Amino acid sequence: EKGGYDHFMMKEIHEQPKAIRDTLSGRVKDGVVDLSQEIGLTKEQIKDIEKIHFVACGTAYHAGLVGKTVLEELARIPVECDVASEYRYRNPIITDKTLVVVVSQSGETADTLAALREAKKQGARVIAITNVVGSSVAREADDVIITWAGPEIAVASTKAYTSQLIAIYLLGLYLAQVRGPKTAEQLSEIVNHLMALSTHAEDVLKQEKQIAQFARSMAKNEHLFFLGRGLDYAVALEGSLKLKEISYIHSEAYAAGELKHGTLALIEEGIPVVALATQHAVYDKMVSNIQEVKARGAHVLGLATEGDSELRKTVDEVIHIPKTIDLLTPVLTVIPLQLFAYYACVERGYDVDKPRNLAKSVTVE
């Protein structure tokens, strides 16, 4: 049942190339995204959208954080992203021109479902991105984009997250095709990169041994930091959650520019730092943040883009992510972080698939 792997989580990490392919399948033709089978919005309704709210919990919320940047970039629509348990109680401003996108692997998370109901009551159009056909969230939303990740058994979410990202890219491209401002050529170029991601994911998985080694050497530490800027920051948050969840190592993810505003005080000799440096627009800023933690004795694992021979000079170890466009890197950068959490957990001798205090699906508040 575990397909030859020791744990479901490892099986599911390795199923990601397929989950990515399956989630794209049938939704792209000749460089154009077609979601008309699943999303009933007319062109007029798409043009009328004034703002988008992503609402979700945990890992799905982290997918929404990527979604904020992606949809703002592709469709130039203002996007907010909220944790469902905050959204439902904070009296958000919702109109009939608000598109609410709820993201939920199980489709049964109590807070996410309650947020969906509240948004609908206030007149929003609700799209659900979920992995379970016929789930509560799928049944109650106006439109549904299914992530075809297949059943996810391990409590720690992996392939559901990457599939949620794919669904978000598809949605962003679909809206952008109607809204602009990008040209059809620019969008189909992005679609081509999207179609190449599953092969790139396979290449990232080939670096498993090196990641395992780093994780094992770090597993005795009780504190760890993840740093990134832009989309790398959103992925840092997910990497940090994964590590806490299964290895019980305390970790924090920081937007690297915030370091100086307090966190740097915690960096001391030998502290492990995982630094993501795949976003070209902020690359130099990121490198100088890494130098700041190195100068205080941090032991740094860097994530760089293939062809980057510079980062190696600043960090202790480097993992290379295959070349794609910056917007799509989260699908790839999260994989080493999932493997890192897995191997840290195994090294510490904890139950990978069933971490303490947690349930796969949180159906009560």
Q: Which residues are catalytic?
A: 360
DSSP 130-195: ESSTT-HHHHHSSEEEE-------SSS-SHHHHHHHHHHHHHHHHHHHHH-SS-HHHHHHHHHHHH
Window of 106-114, 166-174, 228-236, 289-297 that interacts with ligand F6R by CB under 6 A: 106-114
Please say which residue, 238 or 326, places its beta carbon nearer to ligand F6R: 238
Q: Tell me the C-alpha distance between 253 and 274, whole Å.
A: 9
Q: Tell me the C-alpha distance between 6 and 187, whole Å.
A: 41
Helix or strand or coil: residue 318? strand
Contact between residue 40 and residue 142 where contact means Cβ atoms under 8 Å apart: yes
Q: Tell me the C-alpha distance between 171 and 347, whole Å.
A: 39
Residue from 69, 157, 305, 324 in contact with ligand F6R (CB under 6 A): 157
Q: How many CA atoms lie within 13 Å of 273's alpha carbon, on the beta-carbon side?
A: 34
Please say which residue, 163 or 305, places its beta carbon nearer to ligand F6R: 163
Residue from 16, 69, 109, 177 in contact with ligand F6R (CB under 6 A): 109
Q: Please enumerate in sequence order all residues whose Cβ is within 8 A of that of 285, keeping only pairs 6 or more positions apart, or say none.
A: 229, 256, 257
Residue from 105, 163, 198, 305 in contact with ligand F6R (CB under 6 A): 105
Could you say whether residue 362 binds ligand F6R (CB under 6 A)? yes
Instruction: Give the single-character DSSP code of 268.
Output: -
Q: Tell me the C-alpha distance between 28 and 56, whole Å.
A: 26
Smallest distance, Å, CB 136 to ligand F6R? 10
Binding-site string for ligand F6R from residue 42 to residue 61, where x marks contact by CB under 6 A and - marks none: ---------------xxxx-
Please say which residue, 16 or 112, places its beta carbon nearer to ligand F6R: 112
Please say which residue, 112 or 162, places its beta carbon nearer to ligand F6R: 112
Instruction: Give the single-character DSSP code of 322.
Output: P
Could you say whether residue 126 binds ligand F6R (CB under 6 A)? no
Could you say whether residue 64 binds ligand F6R (CB under 6 A)? no
Could you say whether residue 178 binds ligand F6R (CB under 6 A)? no
Residue from 33, 46, 74, 156 in contact with ligand F6R (CB under 6 A): 156
Smallest distance, Å, CB 293 to ligand F6R? 26
Q: Tell me the C-alpha distance between 306 and 206, whole Å.
A: 14
Window of 39-47, 65-73, 102-110, 226-234 that interacts with ligand F6R by CB under 6 A: 102-110
Residues near ligand F6R (CB under 6 A) are 57-60, 104-106, 109, 112, 156-157, 241, 245, 361-362
